[in-house]
């Protein structure tokens, strides 16, 4: 899930360093001279126009293409096609060559002469070489049912891969937005470091002019060192997320690349059945139905034709000939297992129970999805509401911090007092930046949950 991951990271961002008053946040929003650009990601856009930027959609594309299970889809489909071809071949004539050589110690002997029968009687040594052909005519629908089962198994393989790829999207979401939050922290903390460095120059000048204390310089210097440490720490953590994304996507991601937040619209969906899991449930239900049909085919008759042509001594049933002669046999073979002691009936009951199990699992999944979607929509609404008041808080905190900066330059307050107000203003701006990223992450989580992928 994206929101819990982001929330944990946000907590770490807001608690990076202890505050002088209660909490000193470790990053600084860019000054008013900086301009924030909003990049809109169109549905067909993979990378932003700048090659040094990276979009979430590009990460999706590369991660899904690089995932090993993608290859299994084609492999499983090939297996299903080959199995279907093999089953279809069972309706083709079966041709084989057979031979037989035997010696009998006892044969039928006549105690008297029979007209037309050699005096030697039935020969004790018998030989035969034949070409056998068998053609299946009717199998009760067994082969057709098995071919449909093979097709369903191929579909199940593809759908199972889609379900697995959904988990890959979740993983990409987590890493991308963690890196995006850290990217924001780096930018804001770097701006804070620049601001503190400029204040340090002014305070040093105040010390020389006798309007500031030496301890003020030490306080600002210590704070500046800690802020720079925070920048380095955030860079290391961001690089770690990008390294993980590189492994996931199969591409080397430059640590200097700028991550671009996607532009996504969220519309509550009454029936969110776009997830691949629903296709999986449906295909399992289809498989149960075909298995039931296969069981029923066991009680249907079978009919096949056969022929045998060869050379034998004696030839076929002309047992009184003791020389080699050709022979030919053609016929039909029929079988019907009309009674199986209720085995088929019990198998139907089993399939019915399995059908209920699948329906129950699908309903459980749909309900869990609905609950999760409602929670995510509530989170989106909350963040929208919070962002509406963030700007007002920032205006007030900046005004207080600017006043504190003037008083510091005039030696009215200490550097510690200034840092308290400065970090309060910074904390408000940092929270707004975090809320903006959280809102985008919440929207992406929602559309991913309901199966409306970017």
The span from the CA of 145 to the CA of 229, in Å, is 68
311 falls within a domain: no
Are residues 261 and 119 in contact, defined by beta-carbon separation less than 8 angstroms? no
Are residues 273 and 365 in contact, defined by beta-carbon separation less than 8 angstroms? no
417 falls within a domain: yes
243-271 residue pLDDT tens: 999 999 999 999 999 999 998 876 656 55
The pair of three-digit structure tokens given for residue 278, joined into one six-digit string:
């629903």
Whether the upstream peptide bond of residue 314 has omega within 30° of 0, thus cis, is: yes
394 falls within a domain: yes
Of 180, 354, 358, 347, residue with least CA distance to 261: 180
The pair of three-digit structure tokens given for residue 137, joined into one six-digit string:
């005519």
100 falls within a domain: no
Residue recorded with tokens 């992406």: 444
The pair of three-digit structure tokens given for residue 248, joined into one six-digit string:
């996931």
Q: Please list the alpha-helical segments (H only) found in 210-335.
A: 214-249, 276-297
Reduced DSSP (H G I as helix, E B as strand, rest coil) percent helix, strand, coil of the chain, to 5:
60, 15, 25
181-215 residue pLDDT tens: 999 989 888 888 898 898 888 888 888 888 878 88
Q: Which residues contact 241 (CB under 8 A, 6 or more apart)?
A: 175, 176, 178, 179, 182
Q: Please report which confidence band the pLDDT of residue 400 belongs to, taking 50, 70 and 90 as the band edges.
A: very high
Q: pTM to 2 decimals?
A: 0.75
55-100 residue pLDDT tens: 999 999 999 999 998 888 888 889 989 999 999 898 999 999 998 8
The span from the CA of 366 to the CA of 277, in Å, is 10
Supply the pLDDT for residue 135. Answer: 93
67 falls within a domain: yes
Supply the pLDDT for residue 268. Answer: 58
129 falls within a domain: no
Q: What is the CATH number of the domain that holds 358?
A: 1.20.1600.10
43 falls within a domain: yes
Name the pairing type of β-strands 258-260 and 53-55: parallel
Of 59, 443, 60, 53, residue with least CA distance to 264: 443
Q: How many domains does the chain have?
A: 1
114 falls within a domain: no
333 forms beta bridges with: 304
270-290 residue pLDDT tens: 556 789 999 999 999 999 999
Q: Please report which confidence band the pLDDT of residue 412 belongs to, taking 50, 70 and 90 as the band edges.
A: confident
Domain residue limits at 423 = 2-79+146-285+343-450
């Amino acid at each position: 899930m994206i929101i819990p991951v982001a929330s944990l990271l946000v907590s770490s961002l807001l608690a990076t360093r202890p505050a002088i008053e209660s909490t000193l946040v470790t990053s600084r929003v860019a000054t008013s001279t900086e301009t924030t650009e909003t990049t809109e990601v169109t549905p067909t856009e993979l990378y932003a126009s700048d090659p040094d930027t990276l979009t979430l959609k590009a990460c999706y594309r590369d991660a899904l293409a690089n995932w090993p299970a993608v290859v299994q889809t084609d492999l499983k489909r090939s297996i299903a096609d080959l199995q279907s071809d093999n089953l279809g071949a069972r309706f083709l004539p079966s041709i084989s060559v057979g031979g037989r050589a035997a010696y009998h110690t006892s044969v039928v002997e006549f105690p008297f002469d029979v007209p037309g029968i050699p005096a030697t009687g039935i020969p004790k040594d018998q030989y035969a070489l034949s070409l056998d052909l068998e053609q299946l005519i009717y199998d009760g629908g067994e082969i057709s049912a098995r071919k449909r089962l093979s097709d369903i198994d191929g579909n199940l393989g593809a759908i199972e891969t889609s379900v697995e790829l959904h988990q890959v999207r979740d993983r990409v979401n987590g890493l991308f937005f963690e890196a995006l939050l850290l990217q924001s922290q780096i930018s804001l903390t770097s701006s804070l470091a620049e601001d503190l460095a400029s204040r340090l120059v002014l305070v040093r000048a105040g010390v020389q002019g006798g309007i500031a204390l030496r301890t003020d310089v030490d306080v600002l210097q210590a704070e500046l060192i800690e802020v720079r440490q925070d920048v380095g720490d955030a860079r290391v953590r961001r690089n770690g997320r990008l390294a993980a994304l590189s492994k996931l996507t199969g591409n080397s991601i430059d640590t200097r690349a700028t991550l671009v937040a996607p532009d996504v619209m969220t519309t509550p969906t009454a029936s969110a059945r776009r997830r691949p899991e629903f296709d999986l449930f449906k295909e399992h239900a289809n498989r149960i139905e075909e298995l039931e049909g296969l069981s029923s085919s066991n009680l249907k008759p079978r009919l096949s034709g056969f022929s045998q042509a060869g050379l034998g001594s004696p030839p076929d049933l002309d047992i009184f000939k003791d020389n080699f002669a050709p022979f030919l046999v053609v016929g039909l073979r029929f079988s019907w297992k009309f009674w199986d002691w209720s085995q088929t009936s019990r198998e139907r009951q089993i399939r019915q129970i399995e059908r209920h199990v699948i329906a129950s699992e699908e309903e459980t999944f749909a309900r869990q999805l609905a609950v999760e979607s409602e929670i995510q929509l509530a989170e989106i609404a909350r963040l929208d509401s919070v962002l509406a008041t963030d700007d007002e808080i920032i205006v007030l905190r900046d005004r207080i911090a600017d006043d504190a900066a003037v008083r510091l330059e005039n030696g009215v307050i200490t550097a510690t007092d200034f840092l308290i107000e400065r970090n309060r203003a910074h904390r408000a701006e940092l929270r707004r930046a975090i809320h903006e990223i959280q809102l985008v992450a919440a929207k992406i989580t929602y559309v991913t949950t309901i199966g409306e992928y970017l």
